[in-house]
A and B are shown apart, each in its own frame.
Chain A
Amino acid sequence: MTRHACALAAALLLSSCNPLPADTVRAEDHEAFWLWAGVRPQPVLARAHTLYILDGEVAGEPGRYTVLRATIPRVRGPELWLTVRLETLAWQPQVRPAILRRLTDWRAAGGRVGGVQLDFDARTRHLGDYAAFLRSFRAALPPGTRLSVTGLMDWSAHGDSAQLRSLAGIVDEVAIQTYQGRSTIPGYDRYLARLGGFPIPFRIGLVQGGEWRQPAALARNPAYRGTVVFLLNPERR
C-alpha cells in the first residue's frame, strides 16, 4: 500500500498495514543525498540542495580508476560533489589525473561542482597516515574545489584528537556515516554525543529507510552542516 493509503486506512481504523515508525529516515525530510551507481534516480532528487554522485571507484592491487556512471551528470540546480569510492590508497600513477579529468568533464557539462568527495573506510588508528595521503591529494585539486571525506563514527569516540585536528587543515568537511551496508548502526546516538568538540565541519550520513533521531545537542554544534541521505532502490529498503 502507498503511504497515503495507509494513513487513510489507519484513520478509518480499517486495515493493519504498517505506517513507518517515526524514526525512519524518509528522503523527503532531507536536502542532501548520495546517489550511488545502480541506484535509479528518485523524484526527491529534484529538491536536493546538495548531491553527492558516485562517479567511479579506485580498486585493485595497485588501484586503478573505473568509471561507474554511464554518462557525465548534467544536473542544474543543486551543488554537485564528484564522489569516488576508494578500496585502496595505493594508487597507480594515472589514477589521480583520471579523477581530475573527470572533474573537468563534470564542470564542462554545466554542473555546479563544489568539490570532490572521497569515500574510504580509514581505520581510526591510521588517521594520521590518511591525513598525509589527503594532504597530497588536496594539493592537486584545482582552485575553487573543496575536499570532503566520509568518516566513521568511531573517529569521534576513539580518534586521537591530534590526528583529527590535523585532518581539519586538509578537508573541508567530513560526512560521518551512521550506517553500515544498508542498516543503521545501533548505538549511533552515543557516538554522536561525543561530537561536541569535533574540529571539522561535518554532516551526518543516514541511510534511506534506516533510523534517525536527531540529538538535541546537534543543532547547537557550530560544526554541524546537516544530514546526507544514502538513497536506495525501492526493493532494497
Chain B
Amino acid sequence: MTARTRLNAAQDALFDEYGYMVEADQRDPAKAAAADASLRYYLSAYPNGRYADSARGLLRRTAWFAGNDAALARDYAAMLTKPAEPVRVIEELDTKLLDHDKGYQAATGPLLLAVADLQRLRSSVGEEQPYHGSGLSRAELERQRPQFAGRDDLYTYLLAAEALYNRSAAADVLALIPDAVHQSRFTTLQFSRQVLRGLALDMSGDPNAYRFWLSLLPGATGPNQRGAVELAIAQHEEKRGSLDRLLADTSPVRTPALRRIAIAHLAGPDLLRARAAAPRAATDERELALYVLLTRQLGRGRYADFLRDVALLPPAPPQPHAEQTYRLPPDREQEELEEAAVTSGDLAIFRTPRKEPGTGCPDLRATATRLTAAPADPHARLCLAEWWRLSDLDYFPFDQPLAETGLGSGPPRWPGQPYSRLLVYQSLLADARLTPEDRAYTLYRAVWCFGPSGINSCGGDAPKAQRRIWFTELKTRFPQSRWARSLKYHW
C-alpha cells in the first residue's frame, strides 16, 4: 500500500495537465526513488507475496519515471527471452524504451539489441516512420560483438544489413551470408538472411538473381514470406519487359495487390485486353484491366479500339448488399490498395455516365464514334472532356508513378500522354470551328479547372492572367449565356 501511494504521488508530479510525461529534467527524482524503494522493500519482505509479480512489474514503472533506461533495458531483454505476453512486452518497450535516443543506446543483446540496431538502420526518408533512433555505424556494430556470443546467425545478419543499407556494399553481404535458398521452410531469421542475399545479388546485377528468387519461393511458407519474394520476382519481370509473364494465370506472382499494380500502372493495351477477357482471371482483376483499358483508350485517342473493346463490359451488377461486420482487415495496407482498385460499380462510367444538361452532348458511344471518324471534331472533343469530368477522371490515379523506385515506378506501356482537360480546352479555344455556344462553355470549363480554390485539377497549366482573359472574354462576348451569368471568379 505504501508503495502504491508513493507511486501515485510520483505519478502526479510527472505528468502535465494534458496527461503527457514531462521532460526528464523536470521530474523530481526523490519521488520516483521513494516509490522504487517501497516496492523493493515489499519484495525483500515478501518475495513470493500475493503482489510480488505486480510489484516487479511496477518497478519498471519507477525505472521509467526515473529515466533509468539501463534497468528498463535489462528487464525487457530478460522478458523477451521467455515472453508470457509477447505483444504487450513489445508495445511497452516500444513506447517506454525505444522512443528516445538514450533508450536505444541502453539496449542490450541479443534480441533487444538486434531490434534496436535494425530500427537504427532505417532510412530517415519517408514521413510515416516513427522515431527510430540515430544512425548505426559499422564500428559501433563491431563493438557489440560480445553481446551476440552464441548467436552468430543473428550477428552476421546485422553486419550484412549494415553493409547493404548503410553502404550498398553488396559484395560484403554475399560474403557474410552464404546461399541456403533450397529449404522447405525458413524461420524468420533464416528467411531474412536469404532475402538480404537476394537484394545484394540484385544490387550487383548478378545474372543468377532471378533464379535465386524463384528458388526461394517454394520454402517461403512463413508469415509474409511469399509476398516478399513475389515482389522481387515482379520487379525482375518489369525490368525485363516480361509483364505478360508477370500477369499470366500461371505466374508465380499471385498476390492480388502486386498484380493490380502491374495492371493499373504498367500493362499496355494488348496485355490489358488479354486480362480483361481471361476466363480464369479473378473478377476484380478482369474489371480493373477493363476499366484502365477503356479509360486510357478514350484518353489517348484510340477511339476505334474503345468501340471494339467496350463490348467486353459485363452486365451491370445487382445492388451490393451491406457487409455484416465492419472490422478492418488485419493487413491495413492491403485494404488501402483495395480501396484504390475499381469495383464493378466503377464500370458504370462506360454504361451509364453522368450527364450535364444544356451542353448538347450525345451519349458516350456516339461521341466515340464521331471521334473515330473525325478525331479533331471540336464538339465531340468537348463532349469527351465533359464525360471525363463527370466521371471524376481528373484524379485518375494510375498515370502517376506509385513511388520513386520499385514496382510501379515506371510509366505505363502506352503511347501518348495522360489526358488533360485543360490542354483540350486550350486547343479548342484555338480552333476556329468551335461554335459560339461551345466556345462559351469551353471558356467556362477552362476557368473552372481552377475552382473552387485556385487549385488546378485538370492537368496542364494556365497562369492567372490567362484565366482572367478567358473570364473577360466569356463575360463580354457571351453575356447572355448561362455560363457567363453563373461564373463569378477566375481564381
Q: Which residues of A contact B (CB under 8 A)?
A: 35, 38-41, 45, 53, 61, 69-76, 87-90, 121-122, 125-126, 128-130, 181-183, 186-187, 189-190, 192-193, 213-217, 235-236
Interface string of B17-43 (1 = CB under 8 A from A): 111110000000000000000000000
Cα separation A215 to B131 with both chains bound (whole Å): 35
Cα separation A128 to B279 with both chains bound (whole Å): 36
Sample of 7 further A-B pairs with CB below 8 A, known A69-B20, A73-B18, A189-B452: A41-B18, A41-B20, A70-B20, A71-B19, A125-B320, A128-B322, A193-B452
Interface pairs (25), CB distance under 8 Å: A35-B18, A38-B99, A53-B18, A61-B327, A69-B20, A70-B20, A71-B12, A73-B18, A73-B19, A87-B327, A90-B327, A121-B328, A125-B320, A181-B128, A182-B127, A186-B395, A187-B455, A187-B457, A189-B452, A190-B452, A192-B452, A193-B451, A214-B453, A215-B453, A216-B489
Q: Within the complex, which residue of A41, A45, A186, A217 is in contact with B452, where a contact is CB–CB below 8 Å?
A: A217
Q: Within the complex, which residue of B20, B95, B455 is in contact with A40, where a contact is CB–CB below 8 Å?
A: B20
Pair B327/A88 contact, Cβ less than 8 Å? yes
Pair A187/B395 contact, Cβ less than 8 Å? yes
Q: Considering only CB atoms, which chain A residue lies closest to B323 in the complex?
A: A126
* With A90-B326, A189-B453, A216-B452 as contacts: A72 and B128 at CB distance below 8 Å: no
Cα separation A214 to B21 with both chains bound (whole Å): 35
Pair B457/A190 contact, Cβ less than 8 Å? yes
Interface string of B463-477 (1 = CB under 8 A from A): 000000000000000
Q: B325 near A: Cβ within 8 Å?
A: yes
In the complex, chain B residues 363-415 whose Cβ is within 8 Å of any chain A Cβ: 394-395
Give every chain A residue within 8 A of B326 (Cβ-Cβ).
88-90, 122, 126, 129-130
Pair B127/A236 contact, Cβ less than 8 Å? yes
Least CB distance from B87 to A in Å reads 10
Cα separation A190 to B453 with both chains bound (whole Å): 8
Q: B85 near A: Cβ within 8 Å?
A: no
Q: B331 near A: Cβ within 8 Å?
A: no
Least CB distance from A165 to B in Å reads 18
Q: B356 near A: Cβ within 8 Å?
A: no
Least CB distance from B382 to A in Å reads 20
3 tightest A-B contacts by CB? A189-B453, A69-B19, A71-B15
Give every chain A residue within 8 A of B142 (Cβ-Cβ).
none
Interface size of B in residues (CB-CB distance below 8 Å):
30
Give every chain B residue within 8 A of A76 (Cβ-Cβ).
17
Q: Within the complex, which residue of A70, A122, A126, A186 is in contact with B15, where a contact is CB–CB below 8 Å?
A: A70
Give every chain A residue within 8 A of B454 (Cβ-Cβ).
213
* With A61-B327, A236-B127 as contacts: A71 and B452 at CB distance below 8 Å: no
Q: B140 near A: Cβ within 8 Å?
A: no
Q: B16 near A: Cβ within 8 Å?
A: yes
Q: Considering only CB atoms, which chain A residue lies closest to B328 in the complex?
A: A87
Give every chain B residue within 8 A of A128 (Cβ-Cβ).
322
Give every chain A residue within 8 A of B12 (Cβ-Cβ).
71
Q: Considering only CB atoms, which chain B residue lies closest to A54 in the complex?
A: B19
Least CB distance from B91 to A in Å reads 9
Cα separation A129 to B325 with both chains bound (whole Å): 10
Q: B11 near A: Cβ within 8 Å?
A: yes
Cα separation A192 to B455 with both chains bound (whole Å): 13
Least CB distance from A122 to B in Å reads 7
Give every chain A residue within 8 A of B325 (Cβ-Cβ).
89-90
Give every chain A residue within 8 A of B99 (Cβ-Cβ).
38
Least CB distance from A7 to B in Å reads 24
Cα separation A190 to B392 with both chains bound (whole Å): 10
Least CB distance from B44 to A in Å reads 28
Q: Considering only CB atoms, which chain A residue lies closest to B451 in the complex?
A: A193
Cα separation A130 to B131 with both chains bound (whole Å): 35
Give every chain B residue within 8 A of A217 (Cβ-Cβ).
452
Pair A126/B322 contact, Cβ less than 8 Å? yes
Pair A75/B17 contact, Cβ less than 8 Å? yes
Cα separation A41 to B453 with both chains bound (whole Å): 32
In the complex, chain B residues 257-278 whose Cβ is within 8 Å of any chain A Cβ: none
Least CB distance from B150 to A in Å reads 36
Give every chain B residue within 8 A of A192 (Cβ-Cβ).
452
Interface string of B89-106 (1 = CB under 8 A from A): 000000100010000000
